[in-house]
Structure 1
Amino acid sequence: MSLFSGLDSVTIVGYFLRLGQLLSTCVAFSLVAVEDTLREGIGNWCFIIWCFCFSASLLILLIELCIFRSHLPQYWDGFRHAYAYYFTFACLSASIIFGITYIQYLPQGPVQNHAITATAFSAMASVLYALEVAWVCVRPGNVHRFMPTFQGVIRRLENVVACVIFGFITNIDLYRHQPALIWCVVVYSICFILGAVGYFVNGCDYDNDRRLSIPYPGFLVGQTVLSILLYTTAVVLWPLYQFDENFGGQPQWSNDISCSSDLPPTLCFWNQRLAVAILTAMNLLAYVADSAYMALVSLR
């Protein structure tokens, strides 16, 4: 039987979105791969993001081509919605950070042209992933139409913020000199892993169908409470050891030699420290909102 038998317009639209995602991410990382100047620091992080998005999208496309729609698990729409949601923000973040870091500060020539083109295709990829997020929810003919729950959106946000934090802490010079800061990096990693596991335990947020129940509610509660406790330590320790002189921090932007006006702002260590501090506080608030929502639902 042909792999393309039984395709309808809904399925074809999904495949076209996936092919567009593959093309745009492939162009982005290919242009960076041929220029050693763009493969340093932030550029290397963006390169990894585009490679990962391309590989994951290709794997999902192959799965959908080789397995009939009726044989896919019931939570497949939730999985598609989640991965497209994450990749939307990943490619958007890579576009902004890569563009700010390289385009303005490179001399005119082939390298700058490659940076501009890679940024444009990364932005295109983020738009295509965002379209898939909307398409999963509104596509016609979906009997069990997927709609993300409030808690599902919060949990996606927690993991997205963690991914952005990882982008900044790829610069190990920010924390390798202090055990307390290394602990913060451990906190980010543990909470991200637990959040990803918890999301799949919950059936990829396919709990909008009330006939289904959460398999392990105790795990989700424990994961959220533990994440709040861990992030509370990071909210205190990260700013304390980064900005307090008594703990070896750098309180003023002007005293950081990496923050020269001749360099991109994304390469300034002080800006990176501040960004991680803000994102840590944001994620703590997201976990608190998650916990409050679970408490409200249990009371009802």
Structure 2
Amino acid sequence: MDSHSGPYLNHKALCSPLGAARLCQLALGCAVIAMVTHTAGYSGSHGVFCMAAWCFCFAMSVLVFFLDATRLYSYLPVSWDNLTVTCAAFATLMYVTASVVYPLFFVQSECPYAGCDVRNFRIAVTVCSILGTLAYGAEVALCRARPGQIVTGYMATVSGLLKVVQGFIACIIFGALANRSQYSQYAGTIYCVVVYAFCFALTALVIIMTVCKRTKAVCCMPFDRFVVVCTLLEVLLYLSASVVWPVFCFDTKYGSPWRPSSCPQGKCPWDSKVVVAVFSFVNFGLYLADLIYSQRIRFVSSHRPSNSRA
């Protein structure tokens, strides 16, 4: 159905598996925010991150649901299907992180000084956050392109979803770099930071181009070939950074292979260096998997008005 004809409200935004998943996202997100602000509480940088993640995802879900239910998305100069699956994938990663960080720092087996009610509410927040992760993951699963299906939405493919994960992992790396990583000590570690920033920018560019429907041709080559070229370049760059960073951080000539005993917990540069090294290997593996999978798909640019999957 043309989004400009028929009923003004999209009943499928409610009466469909995708609509049900989005309603669950709204209900669970509202429950989490209400319980945290009412009794569970949050404090410190970890608590602020979790609360910011839940609030951001809730606001994003409200906007997506409203635009889908009113069909106003058809007036936006974006690919609606690509935008929604990208938002759902990003929200899934945010909820996964918050579902791990919040109980790790705020949930204890014994009752805190504020009483057992606080502990119980924090457990409930964790449970709702995990269920919210499943709700966002369900939307990704419902929107994901199936094998043999003609690909008109790149972000719905495994390669497109991997792009979101790669960008999220890069953000974790940047956070570790900013947390006393001492990356400016050596030219080799500075090179690695440049690699991380360049690959993140390239990945973000591909996502933005896809969402904004700029997929006709790039640099006189088809979009799918452009993505493969970018991914190959990112694989090579991350391979070099995954080798250079550990050498300049953990070799005895430049650093320490073991955690210094005098290093304070939570404020140790060595810990940040380990986080960067681990997630560098993780992102290298993701880019490699992306490169392998991208050989199996052919992206078909669609210039028809984007219809919601709901």
TM-score surpassing 0.5?
A: yes
1:118 aligns with 2:125: yes
- Matched-pair contact (CA < 8 Å) for 1:244–1:251: yes
Question: Conserved in 1, the CA contact under 8 Å of 2:192 and 2:245?
Answer: yes
Q: Which amino acid aligns with 1:252?
A: W
Give SS of 2:264's match.
Answer: coil
The residue correspondences of 1:50-61 to structure 2 (distance < 5 A) are 50-61=54-65
Give the equivalent residue in structure 1 for 2:97: 93
User: Which deviates more, 14-23 or 81-90?
Assistant: 14-23
1:201 touches 1:216 (CA, 8 Å); kept in 2? no
- 1:287 aligned onto 2:287: yes
Of 144, 159, 163, the residue aligned with 1:151 is 159
Which residue does 2:304 correspond to in 1?
A: none
Report what 2:218 is aligned to: none
Query: 2:32·2:128 contact (CA, 8 Å) conserved in 1?
Result: yes
Contact 1:202 1:216 in 2 (8 A): no
Q: Is the 8 A contact 1:46 1:94 kept in 2?
A: yes
The CA deviation at 1:129 is 0.4
In the alignment, the residues of structure 1 paired with residue 91 and residue 280 of structure 2 have an alpha-carbon distance, to the nearest angstrom, of: 20
Deviation of 1:95 (Å): 0.5
The alignment partner of 1:246 has SS state of coil
Q: 1:262 matched to which residue of 2?
A: none
Residues 65, 232 of structure 1: CA spacing in aligned structure 2 closer, same or farther, 3 A cutoff?
same
Which letter does structure 2 place at the counterpart of 1:20? Answer: C
Q: Is the 8 A contact 1:198 1:219 kept in 2?
A: no
Opposite residue 236 of structure 1, the aligned amino acid is V
Amino acid corresponding to residue 286 of structure 2 in structure 1: A
* Amino acid corresponding to residue 104 of structure 1 in structure 2: Q
Task: State the distance in 1 between where 2:47 and 2:24 align.
Answer: 22
Corresponding residue for 1:201? 209
Residue 252 of structure 1 is matched in structure 2 by 258
Identical columns (%): 28
Deviations 1:176-196 (A, max 9, x none): 663654654454343223212
- The number of residues matched between the two structures is 281
Gaps of 5+ in 2: 216-220, 299-310
Q: C-alpha displacement at 1:163, in angstroms?
A: 4.1
Letter in 2 for 1:50: W
Q: Report the 3-state secondary structure (helix = DSSP H, G, I; strand = E; otherwise coil) of the residue aligned with 2:180.
A: helix
Partner Cα separation in structure 1 for residue 253 and residue 131 of structure 2: 46
- Using the TM superposition, give the Cα deviation of residue 36 of structure 1 relative to its aligned residue in structure 2, in angstroms: 11
| Aligned AA (1:115) | R
Aligned-residue RMSD, C-alpha: 4.4
5 Å-filtered alignment, 1:262-277, equals: 270=270, 272-277=272-277
- Which whole-Å CA distance do the structure 2 matches of 1:287 and 1:60 have between them? 29
Distance 1:195 1:19 in 2: 30
- Structure number with the higher helix fraction is 1
Of 178, 184, 199, 2:185 maps to 178
Aligned partner of residue 38 in structure 1, secondary structure:
coil
Query: For each residue in 1:8-63, what CA deviation from the matched residue of structure 2 results, as whole angstroms up to 9, or x when unmatched?
Result: 45643444432332332344345556789833233332222222212222221232
How far apart, in 1, do the equivalents of 2:240 and 2:151 lie?
A: 42
- List per-residue Cα deviations over 1:117-170 (Å, max 9, x = no partner): 3322221210110121233359xxxx999794343344344234334445x527
Kept after mapping to 2: 8 A contact 1:202/1:215: no
Tell whether 2:39 aligns with 1:41.
no
The secondary structure found in structure 1 opposite 2:257 is coil
**Contact (CA 8 Å) 1:95, 1:122: kept in 2 or not?**
yes
